[in-house]
Amino acid sequence: MKKEKKKDQNEETTKEISLWKLSWNQLRKHKVALAGGIFVILFILIAITAPVISPYDPLKTDFQSALKAPSFVHLFGTDHFGRDVFSRIIYGARTSLLIGVFSVAIAAVGGILLGLVSGFFSGWIDSLIMRVMDVMLTFPRILLSILLIAIIGSGMGNIMLAVGLFAIPTYARLVRSMVLALRETEFVESARAVGGSNWRVMFQHIFPGTIGPVVVQSTFLTATSIRVASGLSFLGIGVPAPTPEWGSMLADARSYMAIAPHLLTIPGLSLMIVVLSFNLLGDGLRDALDPRQRK
Amino acid sequence: MFEYIAKRLLLLVPVLLGVSLVIFLSIRLVPGDPAEALAGEFADEEYIAEIRRIYHLDKPIHIQYIMYMKRALKGDLGRSILSDLPVLKEVTTRFLNTLQLAFWAMLLATILGLLAGVISATRPYSKFDYSCMTGSLLGISMPSFWFGLMLMGFFSVYFKWLPAGGKGTAAHLVMPVLTLGLTGAGIVARMTRSTMLEIISSEYITTARSKGVSDGKVNYLHALKNALLPVITVVGLQSGYLLGGSVITESVFAWPGLGRYIVEAIKLRDYAAVQGSLLFFALTFAMVNMTVDLLYAFLNPRVRYGNSK
């Protein structure tokens, strides 16, 4: 991986190239990350086009053909209600993507705001925010999510909230540490000198500097969020029953392990591929957006 | 050093008080009346009121909290509403079970992770390195409950070598420990590798090499010793996460630990049990974090003698 990065650096530095173009060039050379990216795009496409590409209704039961092994009729076989597993996997992608995107969005908005305020204003507000974040980080995310779900109940929206809320500290810390560095730079000083208000300096001048690492972090967090959410569904307190979800499909599969192993392997494999792809893409993006890697 | 330890111990008090208050209040927000749940479907008002009185559910919330904390300090965490046993007793038994699981998992994660990380770092971009890093990435990306179920499918259902769940013999430990430990090993391996690589390319290692110190001595005496610092932090943080991860692993293998207990208690709205187990978790995390910090200070003179922050 390292070897490829050394090549054709000279041309790039002489020409005027935007950060994103440069990063894209960097990412293109990172074959594994690119594969991850392709799988992520594929996953998103499957999730969006679910109603078009799934051969059956994912909720339609057919007890005559329950627990069938994979065949040409049912590509991934059927579950204990005779539902088509292939269609359920496709719709499950949709569930996971929705939860992943929205929970990360909640976490990002909350965390970026708190991080900006914390790093920019310092003082007591900084101490207050960071202590709360520290306490949140003391507990494992899944435990906090379980507790919150116990309070607000399960259901799609609540899962997104429960998964997203506890990822806020990760963003807050990241953004804060970057703001602390950016605050002292000359361009921020000059923005202030020409009379930019606090909020203007914060959002127009400092915030853009944090985007790169935030994008990388979001990629990793999407992977984690999808995994945590499916874990909650596996425990029976996540997405409610008939909705196709990979974690709850695995929970159901437990009872039929001996007679229908495909119910166990397929949803788990799907979950792993998706999580792995996001992680690989994240690794690649981190290297691509890191200016130190280019010198 | 003693001053440092005392300071850290004192800091635990407000954190635990805060955590207990948050837990207490959030449990009270859970919808559903535990007195009604306990009384059963056909109970009359009088009986429900009686139960409310026995469990002090009729008092104002701040009084309830003060009463709870007073008793908690004496080691009385109340009675589980459902099993009618003292919560402290139930929680400690289960906590010991979780600890047993976490200990072996931690050991596996540390040994395997350190070995893989060190070997990978000393032979960067070799076949071993690539397979190790691929393996650890898979370990990180694999949802633990799926990995656990796959193990169960192979070793219990197909080969019938290991018991599928429960606790008792050493054989019962194998699959839960593997499930919990391998993910941790992946994280430790990646961390060890990256810190080792960073240190190996630093100037004092080059100096040591140019002095003619042997490769083995450089790698293990100079590099590993310094790489251990961040690794210890990761291992420490991991043990916290292991306790959290135990929630899922224990549910997969029906291991009678605190993680599984807490999920059940939340589902059944057993206030006292949820509160007690969460407090236990909080105390453990706080202790683990503190131990990691102390160990860090002990191993790193820069922290010890510098600003004692």
B75 φψ region: left (φ > 0), alpha (ψ -120 to 50), beta (else): left
pLDDT by residue (tens digit) across B32-82?
676 776 777 777 778 888 877 877 777 787 888 888 888 877 777 777 777
Residue A265 contacts B, CB cutoff 8 Å: yes
Lowest average pLDDT, out of A220-234, A260-274, B30-44, goes to B30-44
For A84, phi then psi, to 5°, come to: -75, 115
Single out the residue of A35, A249, A238 nearest to residue B247, CA to CA.
Answer: A238
Return all residues near A55 (Cβ < 8 A) that are at least 6 apart. Answer: A75, A84, A86, A87
At residue A196, does pLDDT exceed 60? yes
State how far residue A45 is from chain B, nearest Cα, in angstroms. 21
**Block means of pLDDT (10 residues each) for chain B, length 309 residues?**
78 78 76 70 78 77 82 78 81 88 90 89 85 85 88 86 79 88 87 85 81 79 78 76 79 88 80 81 80 76 54
Averaged pLDDT for residues A231-252:
88
pLDDT recorded at residue A176: 92
Q: Do A146 and B263 touch (CB under 8 A)?
A: yes
State how far residue A255 is from chain B, nearest Cα, in angstroms. 11
Shortest CA distance from B26: residue in chain A:
A151
pLDDT recorded at residue A108: 95
pLDDT recorded at residue A114: 94
pLDDT recorded at residue B239: 74
- B contacts of A271 (beta carbons < 8 Å): 143, 146
Yes or no: say if A92 and A274 are a contact pair by the CB < 8 Å rule.
no
- Greater confidence, A219 or A143? A219
- Greater confidence, A196 or A275? A275
Q: What is the ipTM of this complex?
A: 0.81
pTM of the entire structure?
A: 0.83
Lowest average pLDDT, out of A240-244, A278-282, B110-114, goes to A240-244
Nearest CB among A146, A261, A264 relative to B247 is that of A146
State how far residue B68 is from chain A, nearest Cα, in angstroms. 20
At residue A271, does pLDDT exceed 90? yes
pLDDT recorded at residue A169: 92
Residue A275 contacts B, CB cutoff 8 Å: yes
At residue A294, does pLDDT exceed 60? no
pLDDT recorded at residue A46: 94
Return all residues near A26 (Cβ < 8 A) that are at least 6 apart. Answer: A5, A287, A288, A289, A293, A294
At residue A6, does pLDDT exceed 60? no
Shortest CA distance from B20: residue in chain A:
A135
Q: Do B244 and A140 touch (CB under 8 A)?
A: yes
State how far residue B193 is from chain A, nearest Cα, in angstroms. 15
How far is residue B296's CA from residue B206's CA, in Å, rounded to a whole number? 26
pLDDT recorded at residue B30: 67
Question: What's at B100, amino acid-wise?
Answer: Q
CA dihedral B196, B199, B204, B208 (to 10 degrees): 20
Yes or no: say if B273 and B95 are a contact pair by the CB < 8 Å rule.
no
At residue A189, does pLDDT exceed 80? yes
DSSP letter, residue B86: B
Residue A38 contacts B, CB cutoff 8 Å: no
At residue A11, does pLDDT exceed 60? no
Single out the residue of A268, A266, A271, A275 nearest to residue A83, CA to CA.
Answer: A266
Angstrom distances, CA of residue A119 to CA of A98, A178, A208, A274: 31, 8, 15, 34
Single out the residue of B101, B73, B63, B86 nearest to residue B245, CA to CA.
Answer: B101
Q: What percent of chain A has pLDDT over 70?
A: 92
Angstrom distances, CA of residue A59 to CA of A244, A259, A266, B85, B227: 8, 22, 18, 43, 53
For B79, phi then psi, to 5°, come to: -110, 145
DSSP B147-179: HHHHHHIIIIIIS--S-SS-SSSHHHHHHHHHH
- A contacts of B278 (beta carbons < 8 Å): 147
Averaged pLDDT for residues A56-69:
82
Computed over every residue of chain A, the mean pLDDT equals 85
pLDDT recorded at residue B309: 39
pLDDT by residue (tens digit) across A99-137?
999 999 999 999 999 999 998 888 889 888 888 887 787
pLDDT band at residue A210, thresholds of 50, 70 and 90?
Answer: confident
